[in-house]
Amino acid sequence: MEHACIESQGRSRFALKRYYSLSSLLCTVLTAVVLGWSYQHLALGDLKDLAESRNVVLTRAFANSLWRNFSLLVDDSAGATADSLRARAQDTHLQELVAQHMKGTDVVKVKVYALNGVTVFSTDTRQTGEDKSGNPGFLAARAGKVESVLSHRDTMDTFEGTVTNIDVISSYLPVRDEYERVVGVIEIYSDVTTFVAHLEQTRLIVIGIVFGLLALLYGWLYLLVTRAQGIIDRQSSELEKSLQGVELANRELDRRVQERTQALNEINRNLHEEINIRRAAEKQLKLAAEVFDNAMEGIMITDADERILAVNGAFTRVTGYSADEIVGRTPSILSSGRQDQAFYATLWTALQVETRWQGELWNRRRNGEIFPVWLSITAVFDEQNTVSHYVAVFSDLTQRKAAERRIDHLAFYDPLTDLPNRRLLLDRLQHALIASTRTGRGGALLFIDLDNFKSLNDIVGRDQADLVLQQVAQRLAGCVRASDTVSRPGSDEFVVMLEDLSEDGQEAARQAESVGEKLLATLSHVYPLAGYTHHSTVSIGIALFSDRQEVVDELIQRAESAMHHAKRAGRDTLCFFNPTMQAVATARAALEASLHEAVQKEQFLLHFQAQVDSSGRVIGAEALLRWQHPERGLVSPTEFIPLLEENRLILPIGQWVLESACDRLAAWATRPELSGLTLAVNVSARQFHDDAFVDHVLAALARSGARPQRLKLELTESLLVNDVQEIITKMAIIKAKGVDFSLDDFGTGYSSLSYLKRLPLDQLKIDQSFIRNILTDPNDAAISKMVVVLAESLGLAVIAEGVETEAQRDFLAGQGCHVYQGYLFSRPLPAEGFEEFALRSFIPNYSDHRPAKDLPPGTVNSRPPA
């Protein structure tokens, strides 16, 4: 019985200890886990609130500093495609602005939404253009609320690239304008991985501490239980009496444990709250200090009595005042004196009523310089809703004002010569017409055009030509009164407006003519350029105006028409407008329009004029351009070639002529009787100086398959004005392929022996102006003979053009010239007619010879003369 009692007591003691151990261990683990989870939950909530508050501050700073860079994207988002938005958002300038602004913070990503939910900007440009109109966070922010979410991302694209295993808090925050209206939504992603990891570590520490404390408590209680069990064993008789006391003691003990646990938790919670508050305060202070010190705008903080408390670095850079010099003073130290008391009264009224003011005013730097600023002042209130400080933020507008002045100047003045442009000329002319109507005084408009300036531009280059324009502008300004206007409406054209001329029309014309003659004389002087002296003349058209009703544009057209008449009269002269000129100008404009149409509709064709030797045998031809007008028929080259030169159509037409000539040579090469013919092609100065000219020649030869040895390029003497080395280089490249060169119109222009010795020429061509009077003018005869002798001395061939009589041919033969071209032998003919004529020249003793000039147009001699 006693043994059974002892065994029962042993089992009871073992069961009691096992039950106590398992239940206590379970309670200890559960308690530690619950406390750790509660701590983490509270800490994460605090972290979310802290990050949300900080993001609000960042958003305000972002909006104040950068929103103006995104407002246009937001405004233009309606109806824009995702691709167009993405293209604009990829602007590296915007990306750099955002990255620079968020530098030093834990922000890793920024997105900007328009109010329609479209993503107009994202640092991850692939998300630009996405529609987030149904996103709960966006909807809350658009309604004026702040919505934040803590989440874990396996991967994420950030400013620093792709990051893995990152914890972020994304906050949707409204952007408000100065009237507190929501104008957009910004989503900011903050990296809180470090804080989450730290909280996880702290949670484990808390669990460990709590577990350890409970384990100690468990050990202590275990000893008590063991001791109580011993007392039970020794005093079994008093067991029943002691059970109630033990139960009461256990209850009291549990109560005390719970109280102590609660006390520990409260202490722990208070400790973490204090730590978080201090950290948040430190971060906000650090952020505010960074924004204050690094802001591009000048910032000044004053107390309620307007005493300056602090200024940032930008303030010092703009005003010149250091913090030591300015702190303790009042903002009046910056006063420029340009704003009166009424201005400042309005400013302070706005601050008192609306708590903010912004506008433009003028301040004074430390060195006394007055400068414009855009100033924003905001009142700061304390807990009692009393103004405690004022914050003034300003931007220096000096550079922007200067840029605006430059833009205004460029809008009305020519940037090269600094003369009034066409816009300002029209304005002044309108005022001059009004003044003339009011006073009865006359005026004049002188339209000035530099003769052959386009050729100069092609030859010497744009920089040297610009120097000529600048010198012309200076000379014009020196020839007129200060009250007159000298303008450059464009290119090589200048307009001088004379005001306050005589009331008598004839006297006003004499006054205008006197000024025009002065301008002709002044502008005809030489123009020194780099390594070259340029000679130039001008053509001047004059249109008078008086108190009659005039139209500005028509008046300028009259002066321009008179200028063109002066050019046709031989240049280097002036001409007054008369109504006939208008009809000529209209016809010229119509012809120019027809030329453009002719290029498009391929109305040009080539005729060929034979070149013969002393036996009358055709040895080649010159390709001559003709225009087959659908209504007028063949148009004279003298009528349209100058226009082609002026409006640069000579480039595509010249290329067409070159390619067509090569095609013709290739066709002749397939016919043995014509394969030995050469073909000369005229090349204008503008065409030769084109950068692609050499490539065009080589390409035309390669495409057509023509033999380069049968192609002859005729150059004019105007090529030799300047940069002879460039000419030699181009000629050498082409000549290396086998092409010959002939110098056309020799003796009429700029040639010199030094040039002829250096140029890789093959032939000189005596101009028809010398051939025409070679039998009656000794000078023409001497020049012709000199060309022949010069060609022989240089080892060059010589040809005479414009030969129309047998006497001219015989004279030239007597001087040693044995190759001719002219109406004596053949007019320019279409390809088929020329080929027939050439074949006839190869047949000896062909009868029925008579000069071609006596035959109807389009016919030729049946046999060349002996």
Residue 854, pLDDT score: 37
* 11-62 tens-digit pLDDT: 555 555 667 667 777 777 777 777 767 766 777 777 677 777 777 777 777 7
The domain over range 293-403 is classified in CATH as 3.30.450.20 = yes
Of 767, 722, 727, the closest CA to residue 535 belongs to 722
Q: Using an 8 Å Cβ cutoff, are 496 and 516 in contact?
A: no
Q: Using an 8 Å Cβ cutoff, are 323 and 316 in contact?
A: yes
Mean pLDDT, to the nearest integer, of 321-328? 92
Q: With 0.95 as the threshold, say if the pTM is over it.
A: no
SS3 315: helix
Tokens 């201005």 found at? 343
Cα separation, 234 vs 277, in Å, equals 58
Q: Using an 8 Å Cβ cutoff, are 685 and 718 in contact?
A: yes
Cα separation, 14 vs 346, in Å, equals 92
Residue 260, pLDDT score: 83
Q: Using an 8 Å Cβ cutoff, are 40 and 200 in contact?
A: yes
Please check the confidence at residue 250 and state whether its pLDDT lies above 90: no
Cα separation, 374 vs 390, in Å, equals 16
Q: Using an 8 Å Cβ cutoff, are 534 and 462 in contact?
A: no
Mean pLDDT for the chain?
Answer: 85
- The winner for highest mean pLDDT among 110-119, 283-292, 827-836 is 827-836
Residue 583, pLDDT score: 64
Cα separation, 222 vs 486, in Å, equals 113
Q: Which CATH number fits domain 20-200: 3.90.1150.10, 3.40.630.10, 3.40.50.720, 3.30.450.20?
A: 3.30.450.20
Residue 696, pLDDT score: 96
Please check the confidence at residue 619 and state whether its pLDDT lies above 70: yes
Strand partners, 171: 148, 188
Over pLDDT 70: what percentage of the chain?
88
Please give the single-letter amino acid code of residue 230.
G
Domain ranges in the chain?
20-200, 293-403, 419-577, 599-842
Cα separation, 772 vs 241, in Å, equals 158
Cα separation, 385 vs 398, in Å, equals 37
Of 344, 346, 342, the closest CA to residue 334 belongs to 344
Cα separation, 427 vs 443, in Å, equals 15
Please check the confidence at residue 813 and state whether its pLDDT lies above 50: yes
SS3 187: strand
pLDDT band for position 122 (cuts 50, 70, 90):
confident
Residues in the chain: 866
The span from the first CA to the last CA of the chain, in angstroms, equals: 170
Residue 285, pLDDT score: 65
CB atoms within 10 A of CB 533: 8
Of 538, 537, 441, the closest CA to residue 483 belongs to 441
Residue 637, pLDDT score: 87
Biggest CA-to-CA distance, the chain: 173
Cα angle 670, 673, 676 (rounded to 5 degrees) comes to 80
Q: Which CATH number fits domain 419-577: 3.30.70.270, 1.20.1110.10, 3.30.559.10, 3.30.930.10?
A: 3.30.70.270
* 181-237 tens-digit pLDDT: 898 999 999 888 888 888 888 888 888 887 888 788 778 877 777 776 666 667 666
456, two tokens: 């100069």
Residue 748, pLDDT score: 58
Residue 853, pLDDT score: 37
DSSP annotation of 237 reads G
CATH topology classification for 599-842: TIM Barrel (3.20.20)
pLDDT band for position 89 (cuts 50, 70, 90):
low
640, two tokens: 């349209």
Residue 233, pLDDT score: 67
Residue 400, pLDDT score: 87
Q: Using an 8 Å Cβ cutoff, are 324 and 308 in contact?
A: no
* 486-527 tens-digit pLDDT: 999 988 899 999 999 999 888 999 999 999 999 999 999 988
* 789-809 tens-digit pLDDT: 999 998 999 999 999 999 999
DSSP annotation of 365 reads -
Cα separation, 245 vs 235, in Å, equals 14
Q: Using an 8 Å Cβ cutoff, are 733 and 784 in contact?
A: no
Q: Over the range 713-740, which residues count as b (16 or more CB within 10 Å of their CB) and which as e?
A: bbbbbbbbbbbeeebeebbeebbeeebb
* φ, ψ dihedrals at 390, nearest 5°: -125, 135
Of 693, 738, 688, the closest CA to residue 714 belongs to 688
pLDDT band for position 863 (cuts 50, 70, 90):
very low
**Strand ranges, E, within 463-581:** 485-490, 493-501, 527-529, 532-534, 538-545, 574-576
Cα separation, 585 vs 554, in Å, equals 12
Who wins on pLDDT, 709 or 594? 709
146, two tokens: 């702040």
* 556-609 tens-digit pLDDT: 999 999 999 999 888 899 999 886 665 666 677 788 888 888 888 889 999 999
SS3 57: helix
Please give the single-letter amino acid code of residue 76.
D
Mean pLDDT, to the nearest integer, of 816-841? 96
Strand partners, 232: none
Residue 413, pLDDT score: 93
* 404-419 tens-digit pLDDT: 888 888 888 999 999 9
Cα separation, 314 vs 126, in Å, equals 36
23, two tokens: 């239940």
Q: Using an 8 Å Cβ cutoff, are 319 and 335 in contact?
A: no
Of 727, 233, 253, the closest CA to residue 460 belongs to 727
Mean pLDDT, to the nearest integer, of 232-257? 76
Cα separation, 104 vs 288, in Å, equals 12
Tokens 């007008």 found at? 629
Strands 442-450 and 493-501: antiparallel
Same fold, 293-403 and 599-842: no
* φ, ψ dihedrals at 273, nearest 5°: -60, -45
Mean pLDDT, to the nearest integer, of 262-280? 81
Residue 860, pLDDT score: 38
Please check the confidence at residue 164 and state whether its pLDDT lies above 70: yes
